[in-house]
Structure 1
């Protein structure tokens, strides 16, 4: 009796796995396969049909389900071999890749984005070369930007230098001309991974002033040495992507999971938490872990951290970074 129950549970579990795997294989072919919708549809239908037939004709049924995974494995092998590229007809805002050159404690970064916007799609392109003294890093800040849903946010990390400079890096999709972001397509090989290395006025002001997003700014409790190590790790990845492009993935390689990966690289990673995926609650997680200011009730801290109106008022001001930080709690002690 027990043996039958275990076998039944195994069959149910395997059925779910095979169904999910076949569904993934069908979508992978549809999104990343031939440009011809007819051909892509035919191949996807063929993979699904072969899996169904194998499950039906191979006995016992549990073995048939296992064999039914073979077509999906073939699809997965093809899918993982699709190369990313830096040579596409990119939209102007992601047309150039940054590159960092280190010289002792100084780093020079080419193609720091500092666009002047009139609207989200109308701007003057300004790509700059900037030099930063790594010894002058004093802190690290995190922006959370909400464009609609409150469960999901876009995260931007910014480094604070004691000479008043700020360097912001946003991990995003690199889109081609005529291409727009799709949450579903983000799970497939549709967008290259792109690190926007930019002035805060560009990255933050674009969202508050021209995209109508709500943006929150939190000062992170982190030793200056860790903030420096994190920036170096980020810039090492920036250089790798300039030479060896990678794919963005909405689950495994997105704006927040990639941050956690960098933190782990420098030995500052924490245990996995569901709020790293539903990152609209990331500030609450940081509050619980005492990585942001905790002397205020969380609701009050969150309200004070909303810098949307200050960013709108600052717009193209040269002291944008200083103005959006007015009224924020002091940087927590390291």
Structure 2
């Protein structure tokens, strides 16, 4: 009986993490042997209406694990920012969970995608347990839409949904500037990723609530982001002229993203309905 009780004792953290992992959990760092796709941290600078973003990622993928890493710098006219799109990628093994992203549209052709992720060292893969035990740093990937969408739609075979939000250009600009302020802060002050409280969806919610206080309350759609699109719809953040299920069907873009993965008009193609 005693042995049975011991066998069911919850594992001590020292039984889960190695000594090196325990030391790593003490303090986050920007200086580790990162995977190439997350090696460069983005930064941004605003002078008047000219927004300069550095280390925008544009990987060329051979498959989900093999790719050629490309980074570039680009200047945007902030006065041309017109839209924000919300992207959800449900997990295949657990569709109540999802990766969520934002994409900021400067007119019809230029889009800057924002993907908040766990940052991996070489040889690391994602573990939900370690995601809750301070084993990954947090990174904001600023990228071409083609990079973050084609990776998931074509190479990981994920379902991908892209929703146009109802954000005005003024709110879009405020939201982007809040995102970029955090990007710059993380370049100087690294943070740990946390699977529950410092992940893709919780950060998007925090940005929205900073520019529009109280807009997104704590909800199951935040804790289980597979429902985040439904939450955004119910809160009026998305177009509500269509029933949600019809809107979701229209928002599904993975097949068209694969079809036009190499098209020069990729961003326009995935928005055609």
What's the TM-score once normalised by structure 2's chain length? 0.91
Distance in 1, Cα, partners of 2:10 & 2:179: 35
- The aligned runs of 1:16-55 (5 Å cut-off) are 26-27=12-13, 29-31=14-16, 34-35=19-20
Distance in 2, Cα, partners of 1:33 & 1:232: 39
Residues 1:224 and 2:209 are matched in the alignment: no
Give the equivalent residue in structure 2 for 1:50: none
Distance change in 2, residues 1:178/1:287 (3 Å) = same
Residues 1:249 and 2:170 are matched in the alignment: no
- The aligned runs of 1:128-207 (5 Å cut-off) are 128-148=72-92, 149-162=94-107, 164-207=109-152
Any idea what SS the aligned residue of 2:40 has? coil
Q: 1:280 aligns with which of 210, 221, 226?
A: 226
By relative contact order (CA 8 Å, sep 6+), the higher-ranking structure is 2
Matched-pair contact (CA < 8 Å) for 2:115–2:200 = yes
What are structure 2's unaligned runs of at least 5 residues?
1-8
Distance in 1, Cα, partners of 2:73 & 2:16: 37
Any idea what SS the aligned residue of 2:200 has? coil
Between the two proteins, the alignment pairs up a number of residues equal to 263
Output the aligned Cα RMSD: 1.9
Structure with more helix by fraction:
1
Distance change in 2, residues 1:306/1:32 (3 Å) = same
Give the equivalent residue in structure 2 for 1:214: 159
Matched-pair contact (CA < 8 Å) for 1:147–1:212 = no
Q: CA deviation at 1:201?
A: 0.1
Q: CA deviation at 1:23?
A: 5.2
What are structure 1's unaligned runs of at least 5 residues?
1-21, 41-77, 328-334
Give the equivalent residue in structure 1 for 2:254: 308
Matched-pair contact (CA < 8 Å) for 1:31–1:188 = no
Q: CA deviation at 1:147?
A: 3.1
Distance in 2, Cα, partners of 1:92 & 1:253: 23
What's the TM-score once normalised by structure 1's chain length? 0.75
Q: CA deviation at 1:293?
A: 1.5
